[in-house]
Amino acid sequence: MKVAIIGAGAAGLSAGYELSKKSIPVDLYERDETLGGLAGSFLLDGGYVEKFYHFICLHDSIYQETLQELGLSHRLRWKLTDMGQFYNGTLYSFGRPLDLFRFPALTWTDRIRFARAIMKIKSAPREDWRNIEYTPVDDWLLKNFGSNVYHSLHEPMVRLKFGKYKEKLSASWMWARIHRLGRSRTKIRQREKVGFVEGGSQTIMDALGNEIRKRGGNIRLKASADALLIEDSRVKGIVVNGEKKFYDAVISTVPLPAFLRLIPDSVQGNYWNHLRNIESIGVLCVFLRITMHFSKYFWINVSDPRIELAGIIEYTNLNPLPHLGGDSIMYLPQYLPSTVDKFSKPNDRIIQEYLSYLKMINPAFDEQYVKEAFVFREKYAQPICEVGFTKDMPEMRTPLPGLFLTDSSQLHPDDRTISNSLGLGKQVARLLT
């Protein structure tokens, strides 16, 4: 058997690694110049820095197991981090139990109800999300946290993440987010403890790539899959940069809309109809290197109508990136459909808008502190997992013999994380062995 893998992100590399361990020949095709996909990085002052923000939670077991297998566990670092909440013009601490009781927007009843709800979700069995899959997220949040907490904290968070799709969203997504982060808190002091790998996510991506090559696999960068080769209702290979390549099996690990462009319109059926109906939202992310320490918080959530950011991540409050000489790295993400005009807005205008948000949050901030600024875009950053999404979640083994699919929609109700994506790669590899 010989296998082609489309995409050399975390899922593609994980699948290639697992197959190569079984002595199955693999060829990976990646359109970008580096490995990693959404977990990819770029060189900055001689060291790798991630294009998008990533962190590891205490129970991201697949990531940690993969590091151990690759001999990289010694590069995993854990840190207690702080969270802030920018609420109607003021920045508050909101990461420790005492912070909740100091937050002025909530009554004592709100605070107690909030704390009880969080502890209940955190300690619940992992499969409890299934009980609320058919409940809209707004209804569930209002019922469990109350109107004041919902409007002060949760409604802005969900709206800034999903925009117009918020009304469709299942409560199970929010439950899973709270569950994952809640379990990454220390037992006694309830401090959030998250991790990073020295050298960034590129460390594990490159290590997986090296292991694949050592076992005889091939990885081609700047190689875009143009089409599938289908004969007698079976996938026989792919067209890459205009060249036909024949394989016994093909695994796609690219985002669902990119995968669907490879499927001819003549391919019909319930499976394909469900795929074509899954919507995605994109992300704009401004990356800043600044010469000041912006705040003490790793993550700032926003509840202010003037600001359209899903969060403000000062990544160097987690990973200090010593090769940058003490400069701070910030990520400013905004989620929105890739079809709207703003998604294609010139970089300089986007950067100026986002810098104005930072000035609102910290009046001491000035553009003179900006050393470097980039805008990264991803058209398909987040699938919209609607109420009752499980019934439409795509199987990895497609109805076309020889064709397999991984996509972050298969992680429902969880978000795409490096750990989860590594897990998808492992799962699809098992179907071929």
Q: Once rounded to an integer, what is the mean pLDDT over residues 20-43?
A: 95
User: Residue 286: which of 350, 378, 380, 362 has the closest Cα?
Assistant: 350
User: Residue 59: which of 193, 150, 210, 212 has the closest Cα?
Assistant: 193
Ramachandran sector of residue 124 (left: φ over 0; alpha: ψ -120 to 50; beta: rest): beta
pLDDT tens digits along 147-189: 999 999 999 999 999 988 999 999 999 999 999 988 888 776 7
Instruction: Calculate Rg over the CA atoms of the chain.
Output: 22
Q: What is the pLDDT at residue 188?
A: 62
Q: What is the pLDDT at residue 144?
A: 96
Q: Which residues pair with residue 336 across a beta bridge? A: 282
CA distance 50 to 131: 36
pLDDT surpasses 80 at 23: yes
Question: At a CB cut-off of 8 Å and minimum separation 6, what does 229 contact?
Answer: 235, 236, 237, 238, 239, 244, 245, 246
**For a pLDDT cut of 90, what percent of the chain falls above it?**
92
Q: What is the pLDDT at residue 185?
A: 82
Q: What is the pLDDT at residue 337?
A: 92
Three-state DSSP class for residue 252? strand
Task: Give how far Cα 295 sits from Cα of 32, 106, 221, Å.
Answer: 34, 23, 38
Q: What is the pLDDT at residue 97?
A: 87
Which amino acid makes up residue 211?
E
Q: What is the DSSP string of 138-183?
A: HHHHHHHH-HHHIIIIIHHHHHHHHGGGGGGBBHHHHHHHHHHHHT
Question: At a CB cut-off of 8 Å and minimum separation 6, what does 289 contact?
Answer: 44, 324, 327, 328, 329, 370, 371, 372, 373
Compute φ and ψ for 385, nearest 5 degrees: -90, 100
pLDDT tens digits along 279-313: 999 999 999 999 999 999 999 999 999 999 999 99
Task: Give how far Cα 403 sits from Cα of 13, 126, 228, Å.
Answer: 17, 31, 9
pLDDT surpasses 90 at 378: yes
Q: Whole-prediction pTM value?
A: 0.95
pLDDT tens digits along 36-95: 999 999 999 999 999 999 999 999 999 999 999 999 999 999 999 999 999 999 999 998
Name which residue leads in pLDDT, 404 or 392.
404
End-to-end CA distance of the chain: give it in Å, rounded.
10
Do strands 26-30 and 218-221 pair parallel, antiparallel, or not at all (unpaired)? parallel
Instruction: Kindly report the three-state secondary structure assignment for every residue of 182-210.
Output: HCCECCCCCCEEEEEECCCCHHHHHHHHH
CA distance 309 to 301: 9
Domains of the chain: 3-54+200-277+392-431 (3.50.50.60), 96-190 (no CATH)
pLDDT tens digits along 305-364: 999 999 999 999 999 999 999 999 999 999 999 999 999 999 999 999 999 999 999 999
Contact 67/204 with Cβ under 8 angstroms? Answer: yes
Three-state DSSP class for residue 85? strand
